Amino acid sequence: MNLYLVERTDDTHHDEYLCFLVASKTKALARSYNPNEYSVVDTDRQIQPNKNYHAWVNYEKLDSLKVTYVGVAGNQYSEGDIIISSFDAG
């Protein structure tokens, strides 16, 4: 398992992810992950999937992402584990 840094190359704005570090077997798989797969609390204080909040690139723009091999991941990580991400809260 490897570690890859996945970075946006387009213009970013506040409340968007800039990059993330992911454990993945391949560069292609690393490119396919989304750091925005977390849940949010809605107005009723219920946990809901965060599907409507677009803070990462659209599927059509995945090829524009810069993916850099960083090193080998430790045994505690599985495919698709996002180790850390950078979010421009604004």
What is the span of the domain harbouring residue 19? 2-88
For the entire predicted model, the pTM comes to 0.81
| CA–CA separation, 31 and 76 (whole Å) | 21
Look at residue 47 in the predicted model and tell me its pLDDT: 43
**pLDDT at residue 13 is higher than 70:** yes
Residue with tokens 């604004």: 90
Q: 68 falls in which pLDDT band (50, 70, 90)?
A: very high
Number of domains in the chain: 1
Q: Rg (Cα) of the chain, in Å, rounded?
A: 14
Cβ atoms of residues 79 and 17 within 8 Å = no
Residue 48 has pLDDT above 90, yes or no: no
Q: Which has more confidence, 5 or 59?
A: 5
